Amino acid sequence: MKSSTKPKFKRILIKLSGEALGGEAGVGICPEFVHDMARQVGEVCKLGVQVVIVIGGGNIFRGLAGSERGIERATGDYMGMLATIINSLALQDALEKQGVATRVQSAISMTQVAEPFIRRRALRHLDKGRVVIFGGGTGNPYFSTDTAAALRANEMGAEVILKATKVDGIYDSDPKKNPRAKRFSRITYLEALQGQLKVMDSTAFSLCMDNKMPIIVFDLFKPHNLRRVVLGEKVGTLVTG
């Protein structure tokens, strides 16, 4: 049976981890992986879908890990936010090489490299067919980029958060350690919270649950997987009420 080419969603938020940009090692920026991501985002844009992206910075610096090594927590978190800007610029460059018009907006003011986050301006960019990448997290320490993704998804009126990972969904235990781990095709917010299945941190999760924002956890590293998710194919795990 031929699959539909009509997208299921009109506006999506993609949550990318910093490690995803680091390739197999998850450290630094791997140009091949960044360009592969850009190709997948470009495929979705050609379907007429409006795309916003929130990106992490764990491939460069993770605030929580820094604080465990003696860096003051707030300072470490700000350093992590700056790492997300570096990743945002790398992804912007890759997207524009694919012919996809892109804007980076930062929650931390740095006007030479990125626009400040202004919701109405971001919405205007989407209307003009541009991809908007949100860097700098929420602009506040003690909040993760997962929380930034949940916040921006609701602010921008996205229909779904697509959490791109290296695993093809949510399992009841670590599939790398347990070959018998069971994958869920669908799960509720409460089941994920009670089972302590680390989909997102609890702040981000609560924000999604309170605002009935569905989350799809899927493997970005399978070719054309993002396109398949957007077309409504059963890929990954759906988290919903």
* pLDDT over 60 at 58, yes or no: yes
- Residue 67: predicted pLDDT: 80
Number of structural domains the chain divides into:
1
- Residue 195: predicted pLDDT: 82
- Residue 23: predicted pLDDT: 86
Asked whether residue 168 is assigned to any structural domain, the reply reads: yes
- Mean pLDDT on 89-113: 97
Rounded Cα gap, residues 14 and 231, in angstroms: 15
Asked whether residue 2 is assigned to any structural domain, the reply reads: no
Asked whether residue 26 is assigned to any structural domain, the reply reads: yes
Asked whether residue 5 is assigned to any structural domain, the reply reads: no
Q: What is the pTM of this model?
A: 0.94
Structural domain of residue 184, as residue ranges?
11-240
The sheet carrying 50-55 orders its strands as: 115-116, 102-106, 131-135, 50-55, 11-16, 160-165, 215-219, 237-240, 186-188
- Mean pLDDT on 128-134: 98
Domain of 19, CATH number, reads 3.40.1160.10
Are 3 and 231 contacting, i.e. CB atoms less than 8 angstroms apart? yes
Rounded Cα gap, residues 19 and 59, in angstroms: 5
Percentages helix, strand, coil for the chain (3-state, rounded to 5) are: 40, 20, 45
- Give me the amino acid identity at 55: I
Instruction: Read off the pLDDT band of 1 (50, 70, 90).
Output: very low
Q: Which residues does 141 contact at the CB level (< 8 Å), separation at least 6?
A: 63, 73, 74, 76, 77, 78
* pLDDT over 90 at 198, yes or no: no
- Residue 119: predicted pLDDT: 98
Among 193, 201, 118, which Cα is nearest to 163's?
A: 201
Tokens of 215: 């989350």
Asked whether residue 1 is assigned to any structural domain, the reply reads: no
Asked whether residue 4 is assigned to any structural domain, the reply reads: no
Asked whether residue 214 is assigned to any structural domain, the reply reads: yes
Asked whether residue 156 is assigned to any structural domain, the reply reads: yes
